[in-house]
Amino acid sequence: MSRRYLLPVLPALTLLAMLGPVGAGLWGTFLPAFGHLPAAGLTGPSLDPFRDLFGWAGLPRAMMLSIGTGLLATVISLAIVMLVTAGWSGTRPFLMLERALSPLLAVPHAAAAFGLAFLIAPSGWLARLTSPGLTGWDRPPDLLIVQDSWGLAMTAGLIVKEVPFLLLITLAALGQADAQRSVRVAQALGYRRLTGWLKTVFPRVYAQIRPPIYVVLAYAMSVVDVAIILGPNTPPSLSVQIVKWMSHPDLAFRLEAAAGALLQLALVIGALVVWRIGETIVAALGRRWIASGARGKADAVVAGGALVAGTFSALAVLLGLVVLAIWSFAGFWSFPAALPDEMTLRNWLRFGPGTLKALGETAVIAVTAAMIALILTIGCLEAEYRHNIRVSQRAVWLLYLPLLVPQTAFLPGLQTLMLNIGADVGRWPVMLAHLVFVLPYVFLSLADPFRAWDTRMGVIAAALGASPDRVLWRVRLPMLLRPVLTALAVGLAVSVGQYLPTLLIGGGRVATLTTEAVALASGGDRRAIGVYGLMQTGAALVPFALALLIPAIVWRNRKGLRHG
Amino acid sequence: MDKGLSLQNVTIFNGDAPLIRVHHDVAPGAVLTVMGPSGVGKSTLLAFITGTLAKDFKATGEVWLDGHNITHAPPHQRRVGILFQDDLLFPHLSVGANLAFGLPPGGTSIQRQAKIDAALSEVGLEGFAPRDPATLSGGQKARVALMRMLLSDPSALLLDEPFSRLDAALRAQVRDMVFDRARARALPVLMVTHDAEDAHAAGGVVITLGHGDTVPKR
């Protein structure tokens, strides 16, 4: 195919890469859920899988865990981010918190969850730091903190990871909401800062960040790796149970898994509907609050509380990484000593070779998926520019679709489908599965800076005789080097952190840092987890550092690009 | 007309409403000035001539340049140079590389470098080739932008409020330089501006939009 015809088909190809696996996976879930699984010699339709599912004694509890942790994590992280922004945006404490939270976005969920577990467990670092002085414990108390049956530790693990995500999304939306002037007007009318922000800016910001909030809700309800590390075991959350059924040697359990996957999908859709109704109720209450003219009374307390919560959220991840690092170098470490009796390289020598092998696999998959995503994204955006295509709000929702359908709803189906058609599991299918999740994030990261480029540069370059391809390669992409590398880093980080697609589509044979680290959760070897968790975090963070460093070096003599 | 820029019954519509209508020839070395307050669509006329009109607008009529109908030619093959009020030097390229970007391909690297050095010294910027454009003054940037455009060997020059960002003293100097260079190369020049002094200095025919030649908005 010649290049002239390639560009216009790229948007279609991109949509296919994102939505094809989701659609195929849902179809592959639907069939076995109604008893049709030729690979196991079963033909439907039948309702037995659902009968088995509803016969499982743990189901009500598993469903409640999914709904409860999902809604709670979303509400709390959203509240923290909104109130911190309302009370503090533009101030020094806010800037400091923003700087602390931004890099945490790249920390994989699993590493953050391990870090949190090592902090708050009865034998964790917090207990060690305060014992025996404050607590009087000279051995770990018999408390079920991590993996508590209410899923509170799991909820906390989700909150500390979603707060940085929502904060960055909110910061991006603030620029378009004319926030500063609105708050200044409100303050001139006698409103306190936080109340003024909530009444004037929040409605506009919320309308912009609504899709990512839905993503957070769908993700939190169906997360697997965080639930394995921090969530309860008896019973686990619905998504974890689905994965357990999927990995059962008896293929017949896949039917129950498929039925569970459809139930998980229904729960997420139901929760999104409930959330949507909640939005209208909050909006109605908010309008009454605005009409009342109340200037705000508890602003200082609420703002202070939000800042404390935001700080705790950042500290939980940062200290978690510190304690992972300590464990990775720890020799003998008795309770309640604050630090290990000896620091040693033995753990790294022992687990290092294994992590390097997993790092290689992780890197091959991540680089391939992220590069494909980047090429497709640039192709789409360039096609949009050259052919004057307008992107509607509805098309933007298509980008979020693969992130809204729970992973546990379509990935099991995709695996079953591949089993049925005799396709081989392994590295390539894993890359394509990663692409489903990498593509939306790369696109969302690059779209705004790409579209914000001064198109008069293109007019000038064309007037100088440069063809559209030359304008793209010689002018636009070099000028956009930093956002392009940042988008690539986002794609790498997303791929590095993927657990379920690697596990299910890889058929257990593709071992990345994330699957290896999560597999260590049940064993509880803190030194091994420390080594793997740090390597995983490094694999996600280093590309971001390079995305900052490379443009700074390449364009060190170009003042005009320093803030671009 | 064989040589020069010819706008034949060019009408630009915003949706269905006619915005501007121009029917005019610009001879080599002559200047046509289109005046009018901002918002009447002066810049859309230039966008139509460069082939970069936004989707919201439609246009009828033809643009001929040196005997060729370029109405439907791709922007990069029209040989129509343009200068904006901002210099729009490529921030990632040095001054010399910016000029090299404009210079058509061909020649040895020594020959190309010689042309670039000659262009720089023509506007009093000897030795500026390795500089970062962001470190230049406003007047220096304007001169580099002009030479970059001229090095690409255009057959016509469009000016989109090109002097409005410059302060009064610099303005006259840069303006004279642009018109001198255009005249020396016998380029037809089409300038849009809202500044009467620019129009006067151009010394050619002045069309004022908002009267006569425009179509009143419905």
- CA-based nearest distance B145→chain A, Å: 10
CB contact under 8 A, A464 and B101: yes
Q: Is B205 exposed, middle or buried (0-12, 13-18, 19+ CB in 10 A)?
A: middle
Contact B79 A560 (CB under 8 A): no
CATH number at residue A559: 1.10.3720.10
Name which of A468, A474, A559 is nearest B135 (Cβ-Cβ): A559
Q: Which domain holds residue A354?
A: 1-38+346-564
Tell me the chain A residues in contact with residue B80 when contact means C-beta distances shorter than 8 Å: 463
Nearest residue in chain B measured CA to CA from A466: B76
Together in a domain, A9 and A79: no
Of the candidates A478, A558, A564, which has its C-beta nearest B132's C-beta? A558
Looking at residue B214, its pLDDT comes to 45
Identify the domain boundary among A325, A344, A363: A344
Same domain as A328, residue A273: yes
Task: Give the rounded percent of residues in chain B with a pLDDT score beyond 70.
Answer: 95
- What residues in A contact B76, CB-CB < 8 Å? 461-463, 465-468, 470-471
**A537 shares a domain with A439:** yes
pLDDT band at B212 (very low <50, low <70, confident <90, very high): very low
Closest partner residue to B82 (CB to CB) among A390, A459, A466 is A459
Q: According to the model, what pLDDT value does residue A539 have?
A: 95
Predicted confidence at residue B36, as pLDDT, reads 81
Chain A positions touching B88 (Cβ under 8 A) are: 454, 456-457, 460
Tell me whether residues A463 and B148 touch, CB distance under 8 A: no
pLDDT for the residue numbered B215: 44
Residue B150, pLDDT above cutoff 60: yes
Same structural domain for residues A122 and A220? yes
Q: Which of A344, A371, A397 is the last residue of a domain?
A: A344
- Is there a single domain that holds both residue A323 and residue A351? no
Same domain, A232 and A366: no
Q: What does the pLDDT read at residue B1?
A: 56
Task: Kindly state the helix (H) or strand (E) to which residue A511 belongs, with its residue range.
Answer: none
Please compute the mean of the pLDDT values over residues B104-111 and round it to a whole number. 92
Q: Has residue A233 been placed in a domain?
A: yes
Chain A residues lying within 8 Å of B144, measured CB to CB = none
Are the C-beta atoms of A561 and B91 separated by less than 8 Å?
Answer: yes
Nearest by CB: B80 against A463, A557, A558: A463
Minimal Cα distance from B49: which residue of A?
A: A463
pLDDT at A78: 97
Number of domains in chain A: 2
Domains and CATH numbers, chain B: 1-79+155-218 (3.40.50.300), 86-153 (no CATH)
Query: Which residues of chain B have a Cβ shorter than 8 Å from any chain A Cβ?
Result: 47, 50-52, 54-55, 74-82, 84, 86, 88-92, 101-102, 104, 132-135, 148-149, 152, 154
Residue A170: predicted pLDDT? 94
pLDDT at A60: 94
The closest CB to that of A479, out of B82, B91, B149, belongs to: B91
Residue contact A481–B101, C-beta within 8 A = no
| Domain membership flag for residue A210 | yes
- Given an 8 Å threshold on Cβ–Cβ distance, is A454 in contact with B88? yes
Least CA distance to A477: which residue of chain B? B92
Cβ of A463 within 8 Å of Cβ of B104? The answer is: no
Q: Does A296 lie in the same domain as A358?
A: no
A526 and A476 co-located in one domain: yes
Does residue A135 sit within a domain? yes
Residue A552 is predicted with a pLDDT of: 92
Does one domain contain both A321 and A403? no
What is the C-alpha separation between A240 and A504, in angstroms, rounded? Answer: 12
In a domain, A4, yes or no: yes
Determine the residue of chain B that is closest to A552 in CA distance.
B92
Residue A563 is predicted with a pLDDT of 64
Q: Is the peptide bond before A93 cis (omega within 30 degrees of 0)?
A: no
Interface test with A, best of B90, B132, B148, B158 (most A CBs within 10 A): B90
At residue A3, the pLDDT reads 54
Q: What is the 3-state secondary structure (H, E, C) of chain B?
A: CCCCEEEEEEEEEECCEEEEEEEEEECCCCEEEEECCCCCCHHHHHHHHHCCCCCCEEEEEEEEECCEECCCCCHHHCCEEEECCCCCCCCCCCHHHHHHHHCCCCCCHHHHHHHHHHHHHHCCCCCCCCCCHHHCCHHHHHHHHHHHHHHCCCCEEEEECCCCCCCHHHHHHHHHHHHHHHHHCCCCEEEEECCHHHHHHHCCEEEEECEECECCCC
Which of A463, A467, A479 lies at the smallest CB-CB distance from B92? A479
Q: Do A459 and B79 touch (CB under 8 A)?
A: no
pLDDT by position in tens, chain A (length 564): 445 667 778 888 999 999 999 999 999 999 999 988 887 778 878 888 999 999 999 999 999 999 999 999 999 999 999 999 999 988 899 999 988 888 898 999 999 999 999 999 998 999 998 888 888 888 888 888 888 889 999 999 999 999 999 999 999 898 777 888 889 899 999 899 999 999 999 999 999 999 999 999 999 999 999 999 999 988 899 999 999 999 888 888 999 999 999 999 999 999 999 999 999 999 999 999 999 988 888 889 999 999 999 999 999 999 999 999 999 999 999 888 889 989 999 999 999 999 999 999 999 999 999 999 999 999 999 999 988 777 777 888 899 999 999 999 999 999 888 887 777 778 899 999 999 999 999 999 999 999 999 999 999 999 999 999 999 999 999 999 999 999 999 999 999 999 999 999 998 889 999 999 999 998 889 999 999 999 999 999 999 999 999 999 999 989 888 764
Contact across the interface for A462 and B50, Cβ inside 8 Å: yes
- Residue keyed to tokens 């109704």: A277
Note whether A264 and A357 are same-domain residues.
no
Contact A387, A4 (CB under 8 A): no
Among residues A344, A362, A377, the one where a domain terminates is: A344
- Same domain for A175 and A247, yes or no, is yes
